[in-house]
Amino acid sequence: MGRLDRKTALVTGGARGLGRGIVLELANEGADIVIADLLTDVAEQTAAEVRQLGRQVTVVRMDVTDTRSTQTGIQQALAERGGLDILVNNAGVAPVHTGTEADEEDWDRCYEVNLKGIWKVSQAVIPHFVERRAGKIVNIASIAGRRGGAWIAPYNASKAGVISLTQSQARELGPQNINVNAICPGLIWTDIWRAIGGMPEGEDDPVLHERRTYFDKIIETSCTLQREQTPEDIGKAVAFLASDDARNITGQALNVDGGIVMN
Ligand SMILES: NC(=O)c1ccc[n+]([C@@H]2O[C@H](COP(=O)([O-])OP(=O)(O)OC[C@H]3O[C@@H](n4cnc5c(N)ncnc54)[C@H](O)[C@@H]3O)[C@@H](O)[C@H]2O)c1
């Protein structure tokens, strides 16, 4: 018996990285899955892993910044899976430029995907949850939203917005028996780290090595447990918040960061 038997979860950005970890942990707990992502080829590979766990899975092409795409994607998910119980808003991007080089495009992209994208997908799912008087929403924020930083301000600001949006959604939807929480992941070595600065695909780029050194340095100097986090860590936290074990938790933002931030 899994904690999410007979539940269906939709995960945006579920093709790779943290999203893949979330998808697999939810499936491990018994949930059937909808992966909603731009990268349908990569999503199909993750879907194959879900099937190996004995769970049903649907891949939906979705751009979380596009109203038509979110509405159609959610309708497709509902039609194919017969209903949704859990929404995980995980799709996210980082700015291409860093520090004072960040431009308007960086600001717009972080806002449109990381923050407004959550609102857009939620708007498409909430009527279904309200009709059922049940539902769990888990928004993926970041410890970057807990504190400022000199490096990727548009990202930090969008993630602070996610924490605030989570609190508003929790207050709006609590009377309908819908729990809304956020997770603030710490440092997980995924492709998002490569996207900052627009790095090439290969592993040999010296800038990539520099970036990894910077990543390791933060772990060494700021992380109480002195180890990086994994997509599975985030998936396990999502599974908890999506389960009835967390039925009386709403409006919270849980740091899963090895003790980097303690408030
Ligand atoms: N990796 C970290 O250290 C870290 C830390 C804190 C928070 N996060 C957050 O975790 C989430 C996942 O990040 P990741 O590290 O796995 O990055 P990633 O780049 O590996 O994965 C992001 C996923 O989101 C999808 N996506 C991007 N834009 C989309 C759009 N417009 N519509 C639909 N899907 C879209 C991508 O295709 C991809 O599958 C993001 O919200 C990110 O901000 C990551």
The CATH number assigned to the domain holding 73 equals 3.40.50.720
What strand order describes the sheet that includes 86-89?
57-61, 32-37, 8-12, 86-89, 135-140, 178-185, 253-256
Domain that holds residue 40: 8-188+230-256
17 close to ligand 1 (CB < 6 Angstrom): yes
pLDDT at 206 over 90: no
Active-site residues, by number, are: 155
Measured from the Cβ of residue 162, the count of other Cβ atoms closer than 10 Å reads 24
pLDDT at residue 150 tops 90:
no
pLDDT given for residue 199 in this prediction:
74
Q: How many domains does the chain have?
A: 1
The answer, yes or no, to whether residue 144 has pLDDT greater than 90, is: yes
Q: Give the percent of the chain with pLDDT over 70.
A: 100
Q: Is the CB of 63 under 6 A from ligand 1?
A: yes
Query: What's the pLDDT tens digit per position in 122-132?
Result: 999 999 999 99
Is residue 182 assigned to a domain?
yes
- pLDDT per residue as tens digits for the range 75-111: 999 999 999 999 999 999 999 999 999 999 999 999 9
Residue 218 domain flag = no
Q: How far is the CA of 34 from the centre of ligand 1 (A)?
A: 16
Q: Indicate whether 206 belongs to any domain.
A: no
- Measured from the Cα of 140, ligand 1's closest atom is 41
Residue 196: inside a domain = no
